[in-house]
Amino acid sequence: MSILTTKHLGKVYEGKVPYTALNDINFSIEKGEFVAIMGPSGSGKSTLLNVISTIDHPTSGSVCIDSEDPHEMNDDQLAHFRRNTLGFVFQDFNLVHTLTVGENIMLPLTLEGVPVPEIKKRTAEVAALLGIEPLLSKRTFEISGGQAQRTAVARAVVTNPSLLLADEPTGNLDSKATKDVMELFRMLNETKNSTILMVTHDSFVASYCKRVLIIKDGQLYQEIVSDGNRRTF
């Protein structure tokens, strides 16, 4: 089953000189895949993730996630879709510093109006799965970068999203924390069948992914699958 399909996806940034950041991007991700997008700086990786995650709008083509086109939705539908169907992990964690670790993890459920007993149950489950129970009552400034990203991953998956999106999730982590966080993504992919799409320029990080899409000058250039097979578009 396809979780994500892009068709003729394009993005032109308007300006004095319009700039084509994405040009005719076509690919699909099946349920349970773990995929990296790699490419040189300025090749369009963030733009691609942003138009998939609905942070930005494409100027041509379409994005289909879980059989729906989020770019056709009104604001209310989109807010609900982003909280339930998508999970986000960012380079700088994006935790809310006035809240505890536990409250950060609960946030998407609280915003969706999930009943409190259900919130507590799901938060406890995800904290146990990700090994962060001892951190739940801590403040965000009391934890390390690796622990902060663990918390952000917990917050991203507490809603059981269909697609987990991560933009340079290890960009601010040292090598040990990078490995810890990547082991976490691998565990989620293998034991929960989570579908993950990640932008990275780190080949160690990409080595955890079963398929790597390489983008160059706004176009899909090559696809590498885990047995080392390459396909050039």
Binding site for ligand ADP (CB under 6 A): 13, 19, 21, 39, 41-47
Per-state percent for the chain, helix, strand, coil, to nearest 5? 35, 30, 35
- Least spacing, CB of residue 206 vs ligand ADP, in Å: 14
- Least spacing, CB of residue 15 vs ligand ADP, in Å: 6
- Least spacing, CB of residue 84 vs ligand ADP, in Å: 25
Distance of CA 183 to CAs 85, 179, 186, 188, Å? Answer: 23, 6, 5, 9
Of 45 and 122, nearer to ligand ADP (C-beta) is 45
The CA distance from 140 to 158, in Å, is 18
Of 85 and 91, nearer to ligand ADP (C-beta) is 91
**CB burial class (10 A; 0-12, 13-18, 19+) of residue 188?**
buried
- Least spacing, CB of residue 14 vs ligand ADP, in Å: 8
The CA distance from 81 to 65, in Å, is 10
The CA distance from 131 to 151, in Å, is 10
Residue 207 makes CB contacts below 8 A (sequence gap 6+) with none
Of 11 and 155, nearer to ligand ADP (C-beta) is 11
Of 43 and 123, nearer to ligand ADP (C-beta) is 43
- Least spacing, CB of residue 191 vs ligand ADP, in Å: 30
Distance of CA 31 to CAs 28, 54, 99, 192, Å? Answer: 10, 20, 33, 11
Of 55 and 64, nearer to ligand ADP (C-beta) is 55
